[in-house]
Amino acid sequence: MTTTLRPSGPEEPSGQDGTSRAYEILDNGREIGGLRLTAYARGAGAVSELYVAPEERLRGRATIALLAAEEVLRDRGCRRIECGVPAEGAEALHLAAALGYRETGRHLVKPLAAAPQLPPGSRVRPMTRDEYPRWVENGRVVHVELTRASGLSESEADEKYHAALARQLPDGPATEGARLLVLEHGEEAVGTLWVGMRGSPRPGLACWVWDVLVEPEHRGSGHGRSLMLAAEAECFEAGADRLGLNVHAGNIPALHLYYSLGYELAEVFHAKHLA
């Protein structure tokens, strides 16, 4: 048995300064599946759309194909490979773990049936331009800490954070389709929220929570829940019927909050360093 990869199309531009290419999975020259590989300028690669024909499964085909994919990305200068596994893909989750992939985060989704009300004394308002630089720095510190826990270096995490801001918020608080909000409770600003009304990273979702942050001195008082309720209200009033978000694997308090609010697991993200 000889399982190999063969390009099935040309390289194509991909988001985040990357290039993408589809490959066939071959067994002794016979096509039995396919996958897509993306290489990014930041030194990371991704595997997606992995498929093996049903009659060829449980024979190690996907294992060999993934190992071959790692070699392709390694040859292209990638130091890290990333992948997402649908929540219902139990076999794929086992395969990722067996090959040394580490969970880095989860994609959660919640159906929206009504606009929730904030607790008494809480309200949201637009973030001002004067507040924006401090919000950027606060978010950077949190992002770097959480992302480093998933295996990135501090410089890689910092670069990834600023690249995302430049891409998603080119005009800061005035960016079209973005809601940057401040949660106030009583007379104090206790947290911030970033909701995107378009440009979601997941197909079929118009609204996306990009960032939720409660000020350190105000944590443990339910303000994180209030921020998420505010996000749901913003999206519902904009006509969306679902709201999505990603959460880092190490952010256990956030995971507990989202699940308690009715969010459902859609995809599990993994990564592996390529020696």
CATH number at residue 175: 3.40.630.30
Q: Are 82 and 44 in contact (CB under 8 A)?
A: yes
Same domain, 126 and 229: yes
**Predicted pLDDT of residue 149:** 64
* Average confidence score pLDDT of the chain: 92
Question: How large a percentage of the chain has pLDDT more than 90?
Answer: 77
What one-letter code names the amino acid at 12? E
The DSSP string of 105-168 is EEEEEEE--SPPPPPTTEEEEEPPTTTHHHHHHHHHHHHHHHHHHTT--HHHHHHHHHHHHHHH
Same domain, 249 and 136: yes
Residue 208 neighbours by CB under 8 Å, 6+ apart: 195, 196, 199, 200, 201, 202, 243, 244, 245
Is residue 193 a part of any domain in this protein?
A: yes
Split into its structural domains, the chain has a count of 2
What one-letter code names the amino acid at 125? R
Same domain, 99 and 14: yes
Q: Are 56 and 27 in contact (CB under 8 A)?
A: yes
Residue whose entry in the numeric block shows the structure tokens 């390529």: 274
Cα–Cα distance between 105 and 147 in angstroms, integer?
9
Structure-token pair, residue 14: 């991909």
Same domain, 114 and 230: yes
Structure-token pair, residue 13: 């531009």
Is residue 273 a part of any domain in this protein?
A: no
- Each residue's pLDDT tens digit, 196-226: 987 778 877 889 999 999 999 999 999 999 9
Which of residues 105, 132, 160 is at a domain's end?
A: 105
Mean pLDDT of 130-135: 96
Same domain, 247 and 212: yes
Instruction: Judge whether residue 273 has pLDDT over 60.
Output: yes
Is residue 214 a part of any domain in this protein?
A: yes
Is residue 154 a part of any domain in this protein?
A: yes
Range of the domain at 30: 3-105
Element (H, E) at 69: helix 61-75
- Each residue's pLDDT tens digit, 33-51: 999 999 988 789 999 999 9
Same domain, 58 and 138: no
- Each residue's pLDDT tens digit, 230-250: 999 999 999 999 999 999 888
Q: Is 21 helix (H, G, I), strand (E, B) or coil?
A: strand
Same domain, 75 and 156: no
Same domain, 92 and 25: yes
Which of residues 105, 124, 158 is at a domain's end?
A: 105
Is residue 189 a part of any domain in this protein?
A: yes
Is residue 76 a part of any domain in this protein?
A: yes
Same domain, 21 and 117: no
**Predicted pLDDT of residue 134:** 95
Tell me how crowded residue 275 is: count the other CB atoms within 10 A of its CB: 6
- What is Dmax (Cα atoms) for the chain? 70
Q: Are 143 and 155 in contact (CB under 8 A)?
A: no
Which of residues 60, 80, 105 is at a domain's end?
A: 105
Proportion of the chain in helix, strand, coil states, percent, rounded to 5:
35, 35, 30
Is residue 274 a part of any domain in this protein?
A: no
Same domain, 124 and 101: no
Same domain, 143 and 214: yes
Same domain, 75 and 159: no
Pick the residue with more confidence: 149 or 78?
A: 78
